[in-house]
Amino acid sequence: MKNKITKQSEDFSRWYNDLVLQAELADYSPVKGCMVIRPNGYAIWEKMQAELDRMFKETGHQNAYFPLFIPESFMKKEAEHVKGFAPQCAIVTIGGDKVLEERLYIRPTSETIIYAMYSKWINSYRDLPLLLNQWANVVRWEMRTRLFLRTTEFLWQEGHTAHATHDEAEEETLKILNIYTEFLEKFMAVPVLRGLKTEKEKFAGALRTYCVEAMMRDKKALQAGTSHNLGQNFAKAFDVKFQSREGNMEYVWQTSWGVSTRLIGSLIMVHGDDKGMKIPPRLASTQVVVIPIYRDDSEKQAVLEAAGKLIEKLKTRVSVKLDDRDHYSPGWKFNEWELKGIPLRIEIGPKDVKNQSVIFVRRDTGEKTPVRFDGLEDHAFTTLEDIQDNMYKTALKFRDDNTFEVDDYNEFKEKNKRDGGFFSMYVCDSNKCEIKLQEETKATIRVIPLNPPGGKNGSHKGKCILCNGSSKQRVIVAKAY
């Protein structure tokens, strides 16, 4: 496989597209804005699903499935929500050869259809909390699409919960934010900043939106997941009430939260390099690839026999694949598996068999190490752990190296334009400053961090970098996907 992907330094955006297509993670489909997720990409999504699903279930959530279609009248019940979503919906007007009496929106998100059911199911405080999640496809009509990052149809999970009090809903919102953080950091090896969105950037219909934001290799931010405290907005629109312990009828307090196949895009852009993708070991369906090297049939036999035995041992600790295809050279295979991001490559040739050792080649560092046959499987396992750890640390260092505290607007503008990165700065609450910031710099307030570091005298307060007005704390500003 000739590596023909554009260099990151040359054109990051082309590098990304080249990688996605050539590593066969996804492909363009004949339907405008929709992609096909190919087996290499879908295998990563399955691993992500498995881990997240386990975490959701361990915290008491159950899966369910709600209809793809949302009647137009439902979309219109929550005023902010319809304003935010209706213009980007796909709409079914014909069914079974007839024009429909009521138009059906393809779900862009499922608050409305789900809460219509909640109003039927929830009667008493005994029915609370109701903690449901669904894995589903959603559709948002996008003008400019990018594979995984922004597509008309995408796959995601959306959690929807109902609680008796505001505080329980808030606790749930933060519990999920923590799950997302743990998943991104421990499994995706992606460090994130956690915090609030501004009023302007919050979910249409929410009280407040929390998010996790990560830095890509081009120093732009990507919103990796959101968790919304919906307050009672939807409960009032859909009449979701319960009888409290004291016998009063009250509106429930709700949350919703989601992550999508967009995560695959961030995985690529946080870890990838000019050789291709790097899959963190905990999300790799194939963690180790074994490549036999030989020149003739007698060498082949000896090498394959030894490789076969090693693979049996490796299988007890890691997931492994033998690439014994005859019509590709070892060098071609090295490139292919590097492109696809398999964490660890093991090379074995006739000399290695004689020496009872192999060569380990790490995808994260490129480091080559001879390893004895004896105890090989344990060595592979610990190497993978180390790769996982190192990928996280590398990404964290990159983010830290490219995060700057700034207090002067001109300095920020110049640095943002020249180098990019995350900027920690004071901005006031006004919509005016937020809009001005975006118009003049293309950067936006990504997140108001939780637990900001204390300033002078332990206070977090400062002066808005734009208007010099009062600001409660530093926020993170960056250009974003």
Scanning residues 94 to 113, which ones bind its own copies (CB under 8 A)?
94-97, 103-104, 106, 113
Least Cβ distance, residue 210 to its own copies (angstroms) = 25
Least Cβ distance, residue 125 to its own copies (angstroms) = 12
Q: Rounded distance, CA 18 to CA 3, Å?
A: 10
Write the CB contacts of 2 (distance below 8 Å, at least 6 apart in sequence). Answer: 335
Backbone angles phi, psi at 252, to 5 degrees: -75, 165
Least Cβ distance, residue 84 to its own copies (angstroms) = 13
Residue among 193, 151, 211, 191 at smallest CA distance from 271: 191
One residue of 11, 46, 199, 312 binding its own copies per CB under 8 A: 46
One residue of 19, 48, 52, 116 binding its own copies per CB under 8 A: 116
Q: Rounded distance, CA 71 to CA 105, Å?
A: 6
One residue of 3, 7, 14, 39 binding its own copies per CB under 8 A: 39
Residue among 170, 166, 165, 138 at smallest CA distance from 154: 138
Amino acid at 175: K
One residue of 1, 21, 55, 68 binding its own copies per CB under 8 A: 68
Least Cβ distance, residue 135 to its own copies (angstroms) = 9
Q: Rounded distance, CA 289 to CA 381, Å?
A: 13
Note whether 60 binds its own copies by CB under 8 A: no
Per the CB < 8 A criterion, the answer to whether 28 and 35 are in contact is yes
Q: Which stretch binds its own copies (CB under 8 A): 135-143, 168-176, 198-206, 469-477?
A: 135-143
Least Cβ distance, residue 123 to its own copies (angstroms) = 14
Backbone angles phi, psi at 268, to 5 degrees: -65, -45
Angle between helices 376-401 and 297-314 (to 10 degrees): 80
Nearer to its own copies, 96 or 458 (CB): 96
Note whether 294 binds its own copies by CB under 8 A: no
Note whether 141 binds its own copies by CB under 8 A: yes
One residue of 2, 327, 418, 456 binding its own copies per CB under 8 A: 327
Q: Which stretch binds its own copies (CB under 8 A): 119-127, 428-436, 440-448, 450-458?
A: 119-127
One residue of 5, 20, 75, 139 binding its own copies per CB under 8 A: 139
Nearer to its own copies, 63 or 369 (CB): 63
Backbone angles phi, psi at 321, to 5 degrees: -135, 140
Note whether 249 binds its own copies by CB under 8 A: no
Nearer to its own copies, 63 or 365 (CB): 63
Nearer to its own copies, 68 or 467 (CB): 68
Note whether 153 binds its own copies by CB under 8 A: yes
Q: Rounded distance, CA 280 to CA 87, Å?
A: 38
Nearer to its own copies, 91 or 359 (CB): 91
Q: Rounded distance, CA 221 to CA 21, Å?
A: 23
Note whether 390 binds its own copies by CB under 8 A: no
One residue of 6, 12, 55, 66 binding its own copies per CB under 8 A: 66
Residue 193 sits at the vertex; the CA angle it makes with 16 and 284, to the nearest 5 degrees, is 50
Note whether 20 binds its own copies by CB under 8 A: no
Residue 460, H or E segment: none
Kindly report each contact of residues 83-90 with a partner whose C-beta sits within 8 Å and lies 24 or more positions away, as own/partner: 83/204, 84/203, 84/204, 84/205, 85/109, 85/140, 85/204, 88/140, 88/141, 88/142, 89/139, 89/140, 89/141, 90/139, 90/141, 90/152
Write the CB contacts of 60 (distance below 8 Å, at least 6 apart in sequence). Answer: 131
Least Cβ distance, residue 412 to its own copies (angstroms) = 35
Note whether 455 binds its own copies by CB under 8 A: no
Residue for token digits 């302007």? 200
Amino acid at 36: V
Residue 467, beta-bridge partner list:
none
Q: Which stretch binds its own copies (CB under 8 A): 56-64, 363-371, 385-393, 429-437?
A: 56-64
Q: Which stretch binds its own copies (CB under 8 A): 43-51, 177-185, 198-206, 243-251?
A: 43-51
Scanning residues 73 to 92, which ones bind its own copies (CB under 8 A)?
74, 87-92
One residue of 117, 263, 284, 288 binding its own copies per CB under 8 A: 117
Chain contacts with its own copies (rule: CB under 8 A) = 27, 29-31, 34-39, 42-43, 45-46, 62-71, 74, 87-97, 103-104, 106, 113, 116-117, 120-121, 126, 132, 136-137, 139, 141-143, 152-153, 155, 327
